């Protein structure tokens, strides 16, 4: 290691070298040296997390032009990604797979050595004239069995600022690392910038994941989902670690739901982007613990979970004062918030779906914007991007859960899986058992893709557990691990399938309002605590009408009719049978698919056929028997 330190000393100013030399882990030092020698920055800033350094990063994000503070609300800044870098890029995000190894054919991948050669070639001299910032952080609460040390070398002050809102500072944790510590590492460069400080060579955008070394390489991009290595990019690495060690790394929100007599019950939920996950996590009157990522472990026989992050990188489209009063208030109050890819006019922020008139011109990700402006392909440019975001610390929210930094996590009582299913599943149902829930609601999660994925909006796909893009092991092995996880639990969480997007087949209109999700999760809170009974249907256990009526009245002040209940909870046999065939076809193409998947699906098919024989194709919920 002395040779590495000597080389680093030659590249670093004395003050920066002193901070770095206190870290004794060779892997950390070698990665920083590789980053410097590859990217050739003019200087290097080692962040040791002092208040002055954090203030310097925030200031440099503005001085560099990557962010602007030209907003009326104190503490608010805005950032624009390039017009061609507005979401996760499936095409250019690849696993680097060594010769002799193989991942699912559904995952984007390439041979490791060729991929490393390409991406390091693109990173070569990419930081010339710029500063490399080195951030040390932890995924999960500090001093916890859940915590994973991670680091990023980047030339983006915006990235360096964003991670301070999203993750726990980790320099002190890195000082304690032993030589065998497992570390996640990211090297990112925005590359050559244009006059608007956005990545110029978007056609050479690459996001490559080398899982053999727990490393991410990202170049010629700025969108946080591509440039911040600790979100979905690191998730791909953590899934391998979790599989090896027998726990779960998940695309989960975590929420504490208040019940009778002052109790609070915790739920996790997996939803694809744009399908209601953040709005479920932010239900008014409840407690938010996480909106995106969670680690789940068996702690002394209890299923316990933590938020990987400590902030929110949330989709801002459709946030309005009626549907999202809590986050609306936060977004219009003084405090540290970074907006990205919204419209700026008169020092104010504007976005699609805010339920007010949007200006006809202003500044957005395309530069000066005006109504009717078109891009190079002739498509009209919206005032703000559909995938526009806000970044804010969870502790800025008045309903942030008190257990956010609990090193032991919180006890999970329920898990939700939900997507955009216009045709089949009812709004809420409980699985018959753990394996049924994992398969029928998780491994069979079918959804319409959204604007959070570049070029994929409006297509239907199976997205297992809402994590399929990120699974860096065979998908069958991932589900097998999920099913097995419950074996050693003293009490497993109940699993629920939710569907906020069911439509009336005759009118094509939604059968749920945006606010109904609060009713479904309040019912789940009662259910996991044994306070309500259920009806047994072929696809799961559904609520009784008489249990939902008082919830609608109390929470939404709405009279809930039995006609609404009947439409929402009618079992659509043909649609559900077709869904089973699509899911089976999907899993028949996968290697290592556990037999439990086909067993659960065949059992559900048999139940549906028996119900059809008895009641017909469309079965009203009142036809099904009630049980405890």
Q: Is the confidence at residue 453, as pLDDT, over 80?
A: no
CB environment 367-403: b (16+ within 10 A), e (fewer): eebeeeeeeeeeeebbbbbbbbbbbbbbebbebebeb
Please choose, from the candidates 74, 88, 34, 43, the residue with its C-alpha nearest in 3D space to the C-alpha of residue 449: 88
Q: Where are the domains of the chain?
A: 2-59+87-245, 249-310+403-627, 313-396
Segment holding 599, helix H or strand E: helix 595-615
Q: Is the confidence at residue 536, as pLDDT, over 90?
A: yes
If one looks up domain 249-310+403-627 in CATH, what number appears?
Answer: 3.90.228.20
> Considering just the CA atoms, what is the radius of gyration of the chain in Å?
25
Judged by DSSP in three states, 307 sits in strand
Q: In the prediction, which pLDDT does 500 show?
A: 94
* Residues in CB range of 207: below 8 A, 6 or more apart: 89, 92, 93, 94, 216, 217, 218, 221, 226, 233
Q: Is the confidence at residue 454, as pLDDT, over 60?
A: no
Q: Is the confidence at residue 397, as pLDDT, over 50?
A: yes
Q: In the prediction, which pLDDT does 507 show?
A: 93
What's the residue count for the chain? Answer: 628
Could you tell me the pLDDT band of residue 574, with boundaries at 50, 70 and 90?
A: very high
Per CATH, 2-59+87-245 and 249-310+403-627 having the same topology is answered no
Judged by DSSP in three states, 117 sits in helix
Structure tokens at 285: 């009157």
- 521-524, Cβ contacts within 8 angstroms, sequence gap of 24 or more: 521/255, 521/257, 521/267, 521/280, 521/283, 521/286, 521/416, 522/257, 522/551, 522/555, 523/428, 523/547, 523/548, 523/551, 524/257, 524/267, 524/414, 524/416, 524/428, 524/430, 524/494, 524/496
Q: Give dist(CA 34, CA 18) in Å, integer.
A: 19
Could you tell me the pLDDT band of residue 459, with boundaries at 50, 70 and 90?
A: low
* Residues in CB range of 275: below 8 A, 6 or more apart: 418, 419, 420, 447, 450, 466, 500, 501
* pTM, rounded to two decimals: 0.92
The domain defined by 313-396 carries CATH number 2.170.8.10: yes
Q: Give dist(CA 344, CA 450) in Å, integer.
A: 24
Q: Give dist(CA 464, CA 460) in Å, integer.
A: 13
Q: In the prediction, which pLDDT does 176 show?
A: 94
Q: In the prediction, which pLDDT does 1 show?
A: 59
Phi, psi of 486 (to 5 degrees): -75, -15
The 10s digit of each residue's pLDDT in 331-390 is 999 999 999 999 999 999 999 999 999 999 999 999 999 999 999 889 999 999 999 999
Phi, psi of 184 (to 5 degrees): -100, 135
pLDDT winner (highest mean) among 107-116, 130-139, 441-450:
130-139
Structure tokens at 74: 């104190």
Q: In the prediction, which pLDDT does 191 show?
A: 93
The 10s digit of each residue's pLDDT in 179-228 is 888 999 999 999 998 888 888 898 899 999 999 999 999 999 999 889 99
Q: In the prediction, which pLDDT does 449 show?
A: 59
Pairing type for strands 337-340 and 76-79 reads parallel
Active site residues: 275
Share of the chain above pLDDT 70, in %: 98
Judged by DSSP in three states, 429 sits in strand
The domain defined by 2-59+87-245 carries CATH number 3.40.449.10: yes
């Amino acid at each position: 290691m002395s040779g590495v330190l000597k080389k680093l000393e030659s590249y670093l100013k004395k003050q920066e070298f002193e901070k770095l030399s206190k870290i004794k882990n060779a892997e950390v030092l070698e990665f920083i040296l590789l980053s410097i020698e590859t990217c050739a920055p003019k200087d290097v800033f080692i962040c040791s997390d002092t208040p002055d350094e954090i203030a310097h990063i925030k200031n440099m994000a503005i001085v560099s032009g990557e962010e602007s503070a030209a907003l009326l609300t104190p503490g608010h800044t805005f950032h624009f990604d390039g017009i061609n870098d507005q979401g996760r890029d499936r095409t250019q995000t690849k696993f680097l797979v060594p010769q002799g190894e193989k991942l699912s054919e559904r995952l984007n991948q390439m041979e490791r050595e060729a991929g490393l050669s390409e991406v390091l070639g693109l990173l070569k001299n990419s930081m010339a004239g710029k500063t490399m910032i080195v951030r040390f952080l932890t995924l999960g609460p500090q001093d916890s069995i859940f915590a994973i040390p991670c680091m990023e070398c980047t030339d983006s002050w915006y990235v360096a600022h964003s991670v301070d809102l999203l993750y726990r500072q980790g320099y002190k944790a890195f000082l304690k690392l032993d030589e065998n510590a497992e570390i996640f590492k990211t090297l990112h460069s925005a590359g050559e910038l244009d006059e608007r400080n956005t990545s110029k060579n978007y056609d050479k955008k690459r996001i490559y994941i080398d899982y053999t070394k727990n490393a991410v390489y990202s170049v010629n991009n700025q969108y946080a989902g591509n440039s911040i290595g600790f979100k979905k990019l690191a998730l791909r690495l953590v899934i391998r670690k979790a599989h090896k060690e027998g726990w779960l790394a998940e695309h989960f929100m975590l929420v504490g739901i208040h019940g009778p007599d002052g109790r609070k019950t915790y739920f996790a939920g997996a939803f694809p982007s744009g399908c209601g996950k953040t709005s479920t996590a932010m239900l008014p009157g409840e407690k938010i613990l996480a909106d995106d990522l969670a680690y789940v472990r068996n702690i002394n026989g209890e299923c316990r979970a933590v938020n990987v992050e400590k902030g929110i990188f949330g989709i801002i489209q459709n946030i309005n004062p009626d549907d999202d009063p809590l986050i609306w208030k936060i977004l219009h109050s003084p405090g540290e918030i970074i907006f990205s890819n919204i419209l700026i006019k008169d020092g104010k922020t504007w976005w699609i779906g805010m339920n007010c008139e949007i200006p006809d011109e202003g500044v957005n990700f395309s530069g000066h914007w005006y109504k009717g402006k078109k891009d190079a392909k002739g498509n009209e440019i919206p005032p703000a991007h559909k995938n526009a975001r806000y970044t804010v610390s969870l502790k800025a929210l008045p309903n942030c859960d008190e257990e956010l930094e609990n090193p032991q996590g919180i006890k999970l009582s329920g898990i939700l899986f939900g997507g955009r299913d216009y045709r089949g599943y009812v709004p809420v149902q409980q699985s018959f058992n753990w394996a049924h829930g994992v398969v029928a609601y998780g491994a069979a999660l079918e959804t319409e893709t959204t604007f959070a994925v570049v070029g994929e909006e409006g297509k239907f796909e199976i997205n297992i557990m809402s994590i399929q893009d990120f699974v860096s092991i065979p998908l069958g092995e991932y589900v097998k691990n999920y099913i097995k996880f419950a074996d050693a639990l003293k009490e497993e969480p109940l699993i629920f399938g939710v569907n906020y997007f069911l439509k009336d087949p005759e009118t094509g209109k939604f059968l749920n309002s945006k606010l109904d999700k609060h009713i479904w999760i309040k019912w789940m809170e009662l259910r996991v605590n044994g306070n309500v009974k259920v009806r047994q249907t072929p696809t799961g256990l559904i609520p009784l009408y008489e249990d939902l009526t008082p919830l609608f009245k109390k929470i939404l002040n709405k009279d809930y009719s039995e006609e609404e209940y009947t439409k929402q909870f009618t079992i659509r046999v043909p649609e559900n049978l077709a869904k089973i065939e699509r899911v089976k076809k999907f899993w028949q193409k996968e290697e290592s698919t556990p037999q439990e998947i086909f067993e659960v699906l065949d059992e559900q098919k048999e139940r549906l056929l028996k119900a059809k024989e008895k009641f017909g194709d469309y079965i009203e919920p009142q036809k099904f028997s009630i049980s405890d």
